[in-house]
Amino acid sequence: MAKMDLLQGTLDVLILKTLSWGPLHGYAVVRWIARQTGDALRIEEGALYPALHRMEQRGWIEAEWGISENNRRAKFYRLTDEGRRQLHAESESWQRYAEAVGRVLHAASA
């Protein structure tokens, strides 16, 4: 299967959902998304870290330094209450969007 490009705005909701399961460092976020999508979505560092910083500035996530599973210092990100509210709002919006696109793709005739 060919790799898919992310639609603008998709990355934030994917990261928020990933962090809803608990704190993770950046590389673990990338791995989780790749695993959950069967490697159809791969997030590049050049997109991930600016998104994490943007979400931190918006108060959706918080970060603190810790030690990764391979004993390296890493910044771990966790969802804030505001981030959970944002995830809920974004999830509902994406659900409506996906249903609308699905109706178009499955339309019987023009």
CA distance 10 to 29: 14
Report strand pairing: 61-67 vs 24-25: unpaired
* pTM, to two decimals: 0.84
Q: Is the dihedral of CA 46, 61, 70, 6 positive or negative?
A: negative
Between 97 and 61, the more confident residue is 61
Name the percent of the chain lying above pLDDT 70.
Answer: 92
CB distance 76 to 65 below 8 Å: yes
Contacts with 28 (C-beta within 8 Å, 6 or more apart), sequence order: 68, 69
Q: Which two tokens stand for residue 26?
A: 């950046």
Note the pLDDT of residue 3: 46
Between 42 and 82, the more confident residue is 82
3 three-class SS = coil
pLDDT exceeds 90 at position 18: yes
DSSP E strands, the chain: 24-25, 61-67, 73-79
**Tens-digit pLDDT profile for residues 46-57:** 899 999 999 999
pLDDT exceeds 70 at position 77: yes
Task: Report all structural domains of the chain as residue ranges with CATH numbers, in order of start.
Answer: 10-105 (1.10.10.10)
